[in-house]
Amino acid sequence: MKTLGALLWALAAVSTAEAVRRSLSYLCGVCLNGGTSIPSLTTGEHIFCLCADGFEGKHCETVKGVHCYEGVGLYYRGTVSQSESRRTCEEWDADTRERYLSSDINRGRHNYCRNLHYRRRPWCNVWKNQQLVWEFCDIPRCALSSNTLTNLTVSHSVESTCGQRIRRKQMKIVGGTVATVESHPWVAAIFWHSKAKQSFRCGGSLISTCWVLTAAHCFPDSSHKAHHFSVILGKNALNETEQNMEQTFRVEEIIIHEGFDDIEGNFNNDIALLKLEPRHRKCAEESTWVRPVCLPPPWVKLQPGATCEIAGYGKEKYGLWYKSQYLRQAQVNLLADNVCRHRDYYGDMITDNMFCAARPDWSQDACEGDSGGPLVCEIDDRLFLFGIISWGDGCAMEFRPGVYTKVANYNRWIKEKTGLTSIIGGAM
């Protein structure tokens, strides 16, 4: 009986193993283009395919954007294999396939155009004058919708003017342009005061009449005593005062996020609130130069490649001993999360409370002194504060994009601390 039982158990094991093998073989083949089969927890049978980036369909059989690319083409998965100069692309080498293309078509064993290093659009390597060089590919950009963020229509009360501005002609932040405060009327200049002097500390963003949002790291150690700080709104230049435009307030309270820490050197939960002290029972008054920015709805997702704006009074070049005297602005593009978390960028220093942005040619970036300032993106002719300038390695350095606090993660925290009934742009 013992021998027969053992034999039956062995036969059952063989049968089970064969069934598992067949099942695994089926599951591996049902999802195409690097897709992963998601099985049932009870039966082990296939339920659906989790597709790799750039693919869709029941079996991940459909390539998104075959004939064009969106944004800067980070997710382009088409099969164009020709450069702009009509040269045939070379196959990607083994190291590139392993590091960047493991979830691509045939695990990257192809010569199709891709954007692997956050250049301006998809590219490939070609032979030119007996040298292997890279060139952009002959692929059109997809037609743009009204905005490059998730399609969204935001309703506002008639009274709400958050995120609206008046643009003025700009004159020729790192690599950016001098801007007038009318273009960024929510920008706040935060100053620290001692008995002997007043010095500029950080930027910030006006989110309602009495509240400014900024970065927590602007208030290190014991320096966050409210009476040592003031906020000036409507300021074009740090060393000039324009009384008809500017509004100055003492800071009544500084609220730093309870989870803020710099143990890993990455300023996690880098967000703080400043409560302005009213003058004659009033805080900020709306004008051409002073107006709140809208806070982003929590369900909105930023799409990689979307163009947003940053503004601040920071250094115009890394290593300079002085900051810009004038408000400056620059445009940056949002990076995909997996790009910024790649080991060639910042790796595991990036948390879910952060995102990265840069220029495809690395020419524009935030720099020292811009901390706490806004990264705003436009939706339906309004500007939304999606990011707070937080940290980065150097300024406008290749593979070292700016890192921003993800404001949408903190909507509930902002509402709890400020008591604002609506935080998607408080009316003045």
State the distance between the two ends of the chain, measured CA to CA, in whole angstroms: 87
CA 43 to chain centre: 40
**Which residues does the annotation mark as catalytic?**
217, 270, 371
- The H or E element that residue 405 is part of is strand 402-406
Question: What is the rounded CA–CA span in Å between residue 21 and residue 224?
Answer: 63
Q: Per DSSP, which regions of 154-287 are E strands?
A: 177-178, 187-193, 198-208, 211-214, 229-233, 247-256, 272-276
Question: What is the rounded CA–CA span in Å between residue 252 and residue 278?
Answer: 9
Q: How many other C-beta atoms lie within 10 A of the C-beta of residue 384? A: 29
Contact between residue 119 and residue 100 where contact means Cβ atoms under 8 Å apart: no
Q: Which of 148, 167, 105 is nearest to 302 (CA)?
A: 148
Type of residue numbered 336: A
List the structure tokens of 140. Answer: 């059109």
Q: Which of 391, 336, 327 is nearest to 365 (CA)?
A: 391
Contact between residue 399 and residue 389 where contact means Cβ atoms under 8 Å apart: no
Question: What is the rounded CA–CA span in Å between residue 160 and residue 304?
Answer: 29
Residue 363, φ and ψ in degrees, nearest 5 = -90, -20
List the structure tokens of 312. Answer: 């601040």
Strand 272-276 relative to strand 211-214, pairing: antiparallel
Q: Which of 227, 223, 237, 200 is nearest to 372 (CA)?
A: 200
Question: What is the rounded CA–CA span in Å between residue 327 and residue 305?
Answer: 25
Contact between residue 170 and residue 177 where contact means Cβ atoms under 8 Å apart: yes
Contact between residue 306 and residue 334 where contact means Cβ atoms under 8 Å apart: yes
